Structure 1
Amino acid sequence: MVRSNHFSREAILRDLLKILGEMTSDWEGGFAGAIGPETRLAADLALESIHVVQLVVAIERHFQRQDLPFQQLFVPGDRSVDDLRVSDLVDFLYTHLNTPSSGRTDTRSI
Structure 2
Amino acid sequence: MSNLIKLENACVFITAVSVYFIFDFSLWIFLLLLLVPDITMIGYAFNKEIGSKIYNLGHTYVLPIIVTLFYLLSKEELLLQISLIWLAHISMDRTIGYGLKYALSFDKTTIQKV
Q: Which has the higher helix share?
A: 2
Q: Same fold (TM over 0.5)?
A: no
TM-score range, shorter chain: 0.3 to 0.5
TM-score (norm 1): 0.32
TM-score (norm 2): 0.31
